[in-house]
Structure 1
Amino acid sequence: MGSAEHWIAWPLACLSESSPVPESACWWALEFSPRVALLEDALLMETSMVQRLWGGAEVLLARLDSAFAQARQAAATGLPESAVAKPLCGRGRTAWQALARLRLQQGRPCGSVSAPLAVPESSPHADALPLWTLSALEQHSAVLLRLGCRCWGDVRALPRAGLSRRIGAKALRALDEAYGLLPQPLDWLQLPQQFELRHDLGYPAHHADAVLHAAQPLLRALQSWLQARHHAVLALQLRWHHDLRRIDGQELPGWESLVIRTAQPTQGMAHLQRLLREHLGQQRWRAPVDMLELQALETAAWAAEPLSCLPAAQGQSPSDSLAWHEWVERLSARWGEEAVQMVQPLADHRPERMQRWQAAAPLLQSKNPAAARDANQAGAGAQPRQQGTHRGRQLGCADPWQALWPPWLLPQPQALSVQGNRPQWHGPLQLRAGPYRLECGWWDAAGDAQAAAPSGLAERDYFVAYNAVVGNVWIYRERVRSEHLMGMSASPASWFAQGMYG
């Protein structure tokens, strides 16, 4: 696919046996791109914004071909797999060009044109596309044929003013949209906030197997809705409408329902189908069913299953390989517990003491699930400073200075030289924000003989500083203690660098 051919078109008729095709049959495409639309008899997708996210155009096309083939196979339940193994699609620089190339592949019978022109799909230009591939020109094919036009390029070569009087400005505008000269307005496909979908069977279903078979399109639509919204279902409700109002003199309710719940959120329909089969088999069917409705009662954000930290062995699926905690326990047993460590957050305002490293295996095996979960999250994404501080950057947080905390801390504070009362780090530093005063650690028990104060006591003024060499850095100045001032033994203020901004 060329770099500019970022529009893809698929035939709608392959996705559903119903006519017209419901939008729910096209929800599977929203998993790959938010720019999906229905145009005439085709499903179209614009992929320029998402190609890089999927690993490139070729990888995305392979995934789309597989997904469309699965949707097509699921819709054509009466056909063998070999009949639907080769998916049809058209690609082009615009939506109309992609639709035209799809119609060329389909070999759709044309109206006034006796024989369509054979144009290869990889044609670099749209001028050779026949008239019948664009609906706006096909309506005027008789006039255009008398003028000697057989393809789009022939129409563009005619004088525009006279052609507009013959076929109208609307057809010329569609031609300009097909060439990308004018923007083409499209109604993008959107998912509903709540899943609630009805399906008219078109025939009476008398037993559980027939009802379960008729519910397959609803289950496929539910799976597409969950995947596109990155959710999983916990509870759903299936309702069915009775074809008769009265039987044997007894009034029948218009609707009956069945609620299914699962212990764990799921996106797979195999387990839900088994649950439905068991519950529907226990129902007493008092009248035929002619309509079904499926509703998702409770959903949750989908958390993908964590994969192994080690590559799977040959012939082994990734789900059968080592999980995170198993990997930690194996390495700890082989190299010792101290060889594999995690970051554990601590309640301390001193940046260098907001976290500590601890052996990972005992922490994961802790009897306190909350502590183990926090440590697991911190260990899985540990950085040189504690990650929980980033989660504190919220509107209305207790300490507005948290927004200026650097993402990286130096292993040890680095002393800075002072010239003319200005700290130096590869040149003079300009103070841009501050001071942020910190006084913490007075509760530490150990003493410092020189300072006559607890060793952990931190009395600092923090600043954000800058120069052209080091960029933005986080520095602090140690405050002169009152004991030094009273003894007249005050020394020049000491400056230290502690953090960096990228």
Structure 2
Amino acid sequence: MRLWIAVHLPLLSLEVFHPNWSDEVSAVVLEHTRVMAASQCACEAGVRIGMRRGGVLALLPKALMHERASDREAQTLFGTAIALLQYTPQASFAEESTILLDIGASLSLFGGIRVLCRRVRATVRQLGLSAVISCAPTANGAALLARHTGARTLKQHRLHRHLGRLPVATLPAALPYLDWLSGIGCRTLADLRRLPRAGLQRRGDTHMLDALDCAYGDAPELHAWLEVPPSFRQRIELSERIEHADAAQYTVQALLTQLCGWLTARHLAVTQVRVQLEHERGRQAVAPTTIELMLAEPTWQDAHLIRLLKERLARLEITAPIIAVVLEAAQTEPMAPASDNLFPEPGGSPEDHKRLIELLVARLGADNVLHAAPLADYRPEQANRWCSVMDAAAPLQERPLPPRPTWLLDKPIALTMRQHRPYYGSRLRPVSPPERIEAGWWNGDLVTRDYYIAEGADHCLYWIYRERIGDVDGVEPHWYLHGMFG
């Protein structure tokens, strides 16, 4: 079944300047000194579409006024379409800032049309935009419904009924003929459809009839599908300077939403993300502040990335205001298929463990989250080093060794002797043959030891050793406690 979702952005020209703007903000966008978009607060004060700049200033002297930025609107519209590619690989553009999504093959994957529409609306909201969403069996029909009522229908006959109630002005191709159509009493699309087609064709413009036939499903629709770029690097210029890094969180979140759509469309997963916070340019130029995010587990979903970058931004101190944010997918790899295990791993999957490590690194710093990196050395105190979890440990060739304790003391404890046996809370009785270690002659740190597993009166197991070389005055070699078994 062919089904379309239309996402109409009625306030795009205003929201490129004020993402997530409040209804209490009086803001207008001007085109050739006339109002083309206004916030709800400005409309309540009397501002109307087409009003001149002077009239706006008379009503709202402190209103925020912006000249229309067509380039920023096109960039925002393209970024929104990229973000929505996570729901379908087929997207195209329609008139008046409308995005069309072919979601007929995605309904089962996302759990039905209602769930899918909610997810699409949430994605648009993450970008700082507001949208009117509709769905219909035809792309042009869904676009017309989104620009007027936002109705949703899955049946062809219901689509005809909804379209028939729409004003003629809803059809962009009919705008040049509105006065003539109004003069003959044609006010709705149903009235327009009842007019003699031959008379309309003699007017010399068949585009209006073609658009009407496509909306009703009487003619095939042609689409120029959105082409996904081979690499991802998006930039959002801020409408005002930001003094604190954590205030750029919403902008970074919008870019990450676009990144996840791009990754899904390209069937990729990201392993390294680079964020640049741009500062002043010109004579007082300041180099951008760069955030490098290395991932232990490739991902293509934004929830984990947003959590990591939120931690990094909260700890970041900047030396100059932020004027723009750039996000780039520095390293990617093919998307791995989902796990097909019937039962979940107890205590979380390996992916959950890696995401926890990444979150700790983002919160505490890579130098404060360490893991053990074994070294090729027979001396127990030299056989390990601690390094950052972001640094992979070099693999060692496995060799058979006697049992080792889970708790190795930082510094061996000298043991006293009682009745010719080492004593630690009680007399220790060796329960294993000796393990001889002689190493370190190559760097002047020679050790000559015989290790034993010893048992105390409480049945705890200890790892002790005796020095094989005693004192030069004939003193017997000492015993030491070096570790404990769990």
Q: What TM-score, normalized by structure 2, do the two folds share? A: 0.51
| 2:241 pairs with 1:204 | yes
TM-aligned CA deviation for residue 124 of structure 1: 5.1
Structure 1 residues 37, 232: closer, same or farther in 2, change over 3 A? same
Aligned counterparts of 1:88 and 1:67: Cα–Cα separation in 2: 13
1:332-371 alignment runs, 5 A limit: none
Asked if the contact 2:82–2:258 (Cα under 8 Å) also holds between the matched residues in 1, the reply is: yes
Aligned counterparts of 1:289 and 1:321: Cα–Cα separation in 2: 41
Aligned counterparts of 1:297 and 1:204: Cα–Cα separation in 2: 26
Aligned counterparts of 1:104 and 1:223: Cα–Cα separation in 2: 30
Asked if the contact 2:244–2:318 (Cα under 8 Å) also holds between the matched residues in 1, the reply is: yes
1:59-458 alignment runs, 5 A limit: 59-76=111-128, 88-106=132-150, 123=160, 126-166=163-203, 168-247=205-284, 252-253=286-287, 255-280=288-313, 283=316, 285-306=318-339, 308-310=341-343
| SS of residue paired to 1:252 | coil
2:222 partner letter: P
| 2:44 pairs with 1:44 | no
Aligned counterparts of 1:91 and 1:279: Cα–Cα separation in 2: 39
Which residue in the other structure is 2:392 paired with?
Answer: none
| SS of residue paired to 1:89 | strand
Aligned counterparts of 1:287 and 1:322: Cα–Cα separation in 2: 42
Structure 1 residues 13, 234: closer, same or farther in 2, change over 3 A? farther
1:291 partner letter: A
Aligned counterparts of 1:144 and 1:167: Cα–Cα separation in 2: 15
Structure 1 residues 28, 273: closer, same or farther in 2, change over 3 A? closer
Structure 1 residues 296, 182: closer, same or farther in 2, change over 3 A? same
Structure 1 residues 280, 179: closer, same or farther in 2, change over 3 A? closer
1:288 partner letter: P
Structure 1 residues 90, 284: closer, same or farther in 2, change over 3 A? closer
Aligned counterparts of 2:115 and 2:346: Cα–Cα separation in 1: 24
Asked if the contact 2:270–2:298 (Cα under 8 Å) also holds between the matched residues in 1, the reply is: yes
Structure 1 residues 76, 198: closer, same or farther in 2, change over 3 A? closer
Aligned counterparts of 1:296 and 1:182: Cα–Cα separation in 2: 41
TM-aligned CA deviation for residue 55 of structure 1: 3.0
> 1:57-76 CA deviation, whole Å, 9 max, x = no partner?
x9341342231132133234
1:35 partner letter: Q
1:187 partner letter: A
Aligned counterparts of 1:162 and 1:122: Cα–Cα separation in 2: 26
Aligned residues: 289
2:117 partner letter: D
Structure 1 residues 31, 258: closer, same or farther in 2, change over 3 A? closer
1:69 partner letter: R
Asked if the contact 1:238–1:293 (Cα under 8 Å) also holds between the matched residues in 2, the reply is: yes
Aligned counterparts of 1:13 and 1:146: Cα–Cα separation in 2: 29
In structure 2, the gaps of 5 or more residues are 17-71, 152-156, 351-396, 399-486
Asked if the contact 2:132–2:147 (Cα under 8 Å) also holds between the matched residues in 1, the reply is: no
| SS of residue paired to 2:226 | coil
1:32 to 73, 83, 87: 87
Structure 1 residues 127, 22: closer, same or farther in 2, change over 3 A? closer
1:231 partner letter: L
Which residue in the other structure is 2:8 paired with?
Answer: 11
Aligned counterparts of 1:73 and 1:307: Cα–Cα separation in 2: 32
Aligned counterparts of 1:284 and 1:59: Cα–Cα separation in 2: 43
Structure with more relative contact order (C-alpha pairs < 8 Å, separation 6 or more): 2
> 1:157-216 CA deviation, whole Å, 9 max, x = no partner?
333343234472332232233334443332212321111111101111222112334322
In structure 1, the gaps of 5 or more residues are 78-83, 108-119, 311-317, 325-367, 370-502
Aligned counterparts of 1:126 and 1:106: Cα–Cα separation in 2: 11
Q: What TM-score, normalized by structure 1, do the two folds share? A: 0.50
Aligned counterparts of 2:332 and 2:178: Cα–Cα separation in 1: 52
2:125 partner letter: Q
> 1:95-150 CA deviation, whole Å, 9 max, x = no partner?
2211222234259xxxxxxxxxxxx9655574454312211124322211222223
Asked if the contact 1:99–1:133 (Cα under 8 Å) also holds between the matched residues in 2, the reply is: no
TM-aligned CA deviation for residue 37 of structure 1: 1.1
TM-aligned CA deviation for residue 39 of structure 1: 0.7
Asked if the contact 2:9–2:132 (Cα under 8 Å) also holds between the matched residues in 1, the reply is: no
Aligned counterparts of 1:262 and 1:35: Cα–Cα separation in 2: 29
TM-aligned CA deviation for residue 305 of structure 1: 4.8
Aligned counterparts of 1:283 and 1:88: Cα–Cα separation in 2: 37
Structure 1 residues 171, 90: closer, same or farther in 2, change over 3 A? same
Structure 1 residues 323, 288: closer, same or farther in 2, change over 3 A? closer
Structure 1 residues 44, 14: closer, same or farther in 2, change over 3 A? farther
Aligned counterparts of 2:99 and 2:220: Cα–Cα separation in 1: 19
Asked if the contact 1:235–1:262 (Cα under 8 Å) also holds between the matched residues in 2, the reply is: yes
1:257 partner letter: T
Aligned counterparts of 1:189 and 1:125: Cα–Cα separation in 2: 28
1:252 partner letter: V
| SS of residue paired to 1:264 | strand
1:65 partner letter: C
Asked if the contact 2:89–2:265 (Cα under 8 Å) also holds between the matched residues in 1, the reply is: no
Which residue in the other structure is 2:430 paired with?
Answer: none
1:162 partner letter: G
What is the RMSD of the two structures over their aligned residues, measured on CA atoms? Answer: 3.7
Which residue in the other structure is 1:419 paired with?
Answer: none
Aligned counterparts of 2:329 and 2:260: Cα–Cα separation in 1: 11
Structure 1 residues 245, 211: closer, same or farther in 2, change over 3 A? farther
